[in-house]
Chain A
Amino acid sequence: MADFDLAPLKTRLAEFALQGQTALLPALHAAQQIYGYLPEPVVVEIAQALKVPLSETYGVIDFYTLFYSQPVGKMVIHVCRDPACAMAGADGVFKMLTQRVDLIQEGNTEQKTVTLERAPCLGLCEHAPAMLVQGTALGNTGSATWEELVSGKNEPPHSLLGGAIHKLTANCGHAKTTTLKEYIAGGGYNALQKALQTNPFDIISEVKASGLVGRGGAGFPTGAKWEGAYLAAGEPKYVVCNADEAEPGTFKDRVMMEDDPHRILEGLIIAAYTIGAKKGYWYIRGEYEFSYRVVQHAVEEARQAGYLGRNILNSGFSFDVELRQGAGAYICGEETALFESIEGKRGFPRIKPPFPTTNGLFGKPTIINNVETLCNIPLILLEGAQVYRQTGTEKSPGPKLFCISGDVVYPGLYEVPFGFPLRRLLYELAGGIRPGHIFQAALLGGAAGAFATEKNLDVRLSFEDLRSAGLPLGSGVITVLDETRDLRDLLLRLGRFFVEESCGKCFPCQIGTQRQYEILQRIGSGQPQPGDMQRLQDVGLTMTDSSLCGLGQTAASAVLSAMQHWPELFS
C-alpha cells in the first residue's frame, strides 16, 4: 500500500477532533482536498480522531457520491444528465468528452488524469447543458471546446433573472454578489434591528399572520413551525438553513445565495433570535461550491460587522452559524436526513413523528427552513404581515420564485406574486416557446412533480388553484417541453434519478425505484411487456402509499401523472 504523509491531515484534524462525529463530513472533505481521494490509512486516522467506528465511517463515505474511496483523476468532471440539460444536448457533450478523455488516457497509462462522471441535476438548468469541472460550474457547454472547458479560467455563469415583481430578488441579477455594504444601503438588516427589539412571540404572530408557508416543497406553515420550536422544551435549540437544493430543475436557492446571501442570513438570525437558538447551521449541497464560498464570505462580513457572534447589535443576543457542505445526496434535502448528515451519518431520513420542532438536530428543538422561505422573513418584519399579504392571493400570500428551464426563449429565475397565470409567466415573461415550436407540456415541481398540459396553461400559480387542477407547486420548478420532446425519455431520466438517489432505507423506495426504472427502460425503448402498465402503477402507488419519506412518496409522481395524460405512451 502506498505511503501517505498523514502530517497535513493531522493538522486539519486538530480542529475537528473535539467536535466528534458531527465533524465527519467536514473532515472527509478536508482530507479529500489534501489527498484527492480517501485512502484507507487516511480514513482510519479520521475515524480514530473523531471516535467514529471504522465500519460506520466507511458507510458514510460510500453513501455520498462526492466522496471517493478509490483514486480519481487529477481532474474530475461531472456532466449533468437530467431533463433540462439533456434537452440542451448534454448527451452529446458527454460523448465528446468521453472520446477526448479516452485519448488522453491512452497517452498516459500510468495515471488516470481525468475522471468523467454523469451527474444528477446540478442546479444550473437555466444555463443548460451544464457541468462541473473540478467543482467549478460551467454553463452553455454545448459549443465549448475541450480546451475552453478545462482551461481553469472559467467562471460560474451569472444568474438570469426576470419577473413581474422584485421583492425577494431586489438585489439579484446584477452579475455580482450583493456585498454587506450594498445590502445595508438597500435597507438590509433593518428587519433584524427591529426583531431584536420585539418580543419573540410577537415575531411568531407576525409570521403566522403573514400566511408564509415553506418554499422547499412541502408547504408547511412557517409561523406554526417557529411556534412549535419556541414552545418546545429542551436546550440548546438550533436553526438550520436548508440549502441542499437538488430537485431536478430547481436553482432558485443557488441564485439567492450567490446574488444576495445576506437576505438569507438575516432571515436565519431572526429565526434564531425568535426561538433563542445560539447556534445555526447552513447546509449547502456539495455541488454548489461557488455558493458555498459566497456564503462563507458573507458570513465573515456579517461577523465582522456585529450581525453574528456575541451580543449582536448590543441586544444581549448571541448567535453564530456554521456552514456545512453536502457531499452528493439528494435525500439530504429531506429535513431529517439533513440532520443526520450534519451529525456525521449516512443521510437516512428519520421516522416522523417526532418532528424537528421538538426532536430535530442532535435530538433538540430545531427550526429548519428553506433558503427562499428565510428570504421572506426580513420582508414580513419590515413591511408587516398586512402589507406583505397585499402581494399574492388570499390563500397564498406573498411573492414566489419560479425556476423556468427547457424550451422557453428566456430560461431563468422569475419572481411573481402568487396567483400569477402560468400562461403569462411562460409567454410574456419567459418569452414563450423557442421559435418554430409549440407547447407540449410542462413538468411542474421537478422529478417529484406532475405534468401540466395545454389545458392547464390558464391555471393561476397559487397553492389553491394548483391543488384544484391536480398539480403540485413543489419548489417552484417549471420544465417546459415543446412538441419535439419524447416524454418517455424524460420519464426514463426521472426514473434513473430516483434509482440513484434513493437512500435504500425503506423497502418500497429501495426496490420500487429500481423496478420502476426497469419498466421505464422497456417503455423508453418501445418494447413494453404485457402488463407493464399495471406493474408500473402498482409499484408507483406502493411507493406513494408506503414509503418512509417524501422522496419515495413522490418518486412515482411524474410517472403516474404521465399515465393519466398519455396512457398510450405505456402500451
Chain B
Amino acid sequence: MAEMISLTIDDQPVSASEGTTILKAAAQIGIDIPTICFHEACTSNALCRICVVEVENARTLVPACVGKVSSGMKVHTRSERIDRSRRTLLEMLATTVDLSEAPEILAYMQEYQAAPDRFPSAERRDPPIIDDNPMFIRDYAKCILCWRCVQVCASDAQFAYAINFIERGFETQIGTFFERSLPETSCVFCGQCVGVCPTGALKPKRQWLLEQGQTPDEIMALTRSERRRRMRREVPAEGGTR
C-alpha cells in the first residue's frame, strides 16, 4: 500500500497517499480548486493554470492538477496572488475566444470578478466554422486549446491521430495534415473529441443545425440528399477514372 503523507491545505490537516495530486487531496477535505483543461479521462498537462495554488517556499505558483503532495507541504488555495493569476487568466481567455457555450468558465468569471472586456482592442482567435463532414462541426473560435480532443484522438483513447496542432503561440490551432478535410484524414468519426470538448467548439452536426433554426425534418432531408450525393460521387471513383 502507498505510504500516507501528511500536509495542510488552507491550514487544514490532510492525509493522502503518496503520488496523490494536490487537486485530489484538496477534494478529499471538500476544498474545490477550479479547473478548465483537466479531465478525468485525459492525461493532465497543466495547460490552463487556473488550478494554480501557493505552496510555501515554492518560487512560482503550482498547478494542483499535476503537483503531487509531499510530506509537511503547506498549500494555500486562495490568496491575492492566486486570485490575480486566475482572474487575469480568465480575462485573457474571454478576450481571445468565444466562451458563450462554456458555462463552467463563465461561472468562474463571476466568482473571480473577471471583467470580460478587461483588454481593449485585443486580438481574438476567430477562424470560420469548419463544416467538412456529416458528423460534427469545428468552430475553433470557441477553442481554448485544452488539448483534450488531440489527446483522445491519439494515445489517450482512440489512436486515430487525425488531428494535431498547427502554428504555435497565440496562433496555435487544432488542425489536420496540410489542413485536409476530416474525411481525408485518419479520422474514424468516433466522436470522442466532441465528447470531451468543454466549450462547444466541437459539436454534433445535428445539434448545430438545430441551433441554426433548422427543423428535424429539414435536417433529415439534408442528410438523405447528402448521402445520395456521396453515392453518386463514389460510383465513378470506383470505376478508376479519377
B-contacting residues of A (Cβ < 8 Å)?
A: 40, 43, 53-59, 62-63, 69, 329, 346, 351, 499-508, 510-515, 518, 529, 535, 538-539, 541-542, 544-548, 553
Contact = CB atoms under 8 A, between A and B. Distances in A.
Q: What are the 9 A-B residue pairs with the smallest beta carbon separation, nearest first?
A: A53-B161, A59-B164, A504-B172, A54-B177, A55-B164, A502-B169, A514-B170, A511-B92, A542-B88
A499 B176 CA distance: 23
Contacts of B45: 351, 505
A511 B164 contact: no
B202 to A, nearest CB: 16
B85 A542 contact: yes
A542 B92 CA distance: 11
Contact of A58 (B88, B145, B177): B177
B81 interface: yes
26 contacts: A53-B186, A55-B161, A55-B164, A55-B185, A58-B177, A59-B166, A69-B178, A329-B168, A351-B63, A500-B169, A502-B170, A506-B47, A507-B92, A507-B145, A508-B49, A510-B170, A511-B89, A512-B92, A514-B96, A518-B121, A518-B123, A539-B92, A541-B88, A545-B60, A546-B49, A546-B52
Contact of B49 (A69, A518, A548): A548
Contacts of B118: 535
A62 B167 contact: yes
B60 A55 contact: no
Contacts of A547: 49, 60
Given A63-B167, A351-B46, A514-B123, 11 more contacts: A55-B163, A55-B175, A63-B165, A351-B66, A502-B169, A507-B50, A507-B89, A507-B93, A507-B145, A514-B96, A546-B60
A503 B168 contact: yes
Contact of B122 (A56, A518, A545, A546): A518
A123 to B, nearest CB: 21
Contacts of B81: 541, 545
Contacts of B60: 544-547, 553
User: Chain B contact residues: over half helix, strand or loop, or mixed?
Assistant: loop
A515 B122 contact: yes
Interface in B190-231: none
Contacts of A508: 49, 85, 89, 92
Given A40-B178, A518-B122, A54 B186 contact: yes
Given A351-B45, A505-B45, A547-B49, A499 B169 contact: yes
Given A351-B46, A518-B123, A542-B84, A510 B161 contact: no
B23 interface: no
Given A54-B185, A58-B166, A511 B96 contact: yes
A275 B89 CA distance: 42
A58 B170 contact: no
B119 interface: yes
User: Chain A contact residues: over half helix, strand or loop, or mixed?
Assistant: helix
A506 B46 contact: yes
Contact of A511 (B170, B175, B178, B186): B170
Given A58-B177, A351-B66, A546-B60, A538 B169 contact: no
B120 interface: yes
A175 B56 CA distance: 52
B42 interface: no
Contacts of B141: none
Interface in B80-98: 81, 84-85, 87-89, 92-93, 95-96
B22 interface: no
A351 B44 CA distance: 10
B120 A58 contact: no
Interface in B101-140: 118-123
B171 interface: yes
A67 to B, nearest CB: 12
Nearest to A65: B168
B14 interface: no
Nearest to B120: A529
Given A58-B177, A507-B47, A508-B49, A502 B168 contact: yes
A12 to B, nearest CB: 21
Nearest to A545: B61
A546 B171 CA distance: 20
B73 interface: no
A75 B47 CA distance: 39
B162 A55 contact: yes
Given A53-B164, A504-B145, A545-B52, A499 B89 contact: no
Contacts of B85: 508, 541-542, 545-546
B236 to A, nearest CB: 20
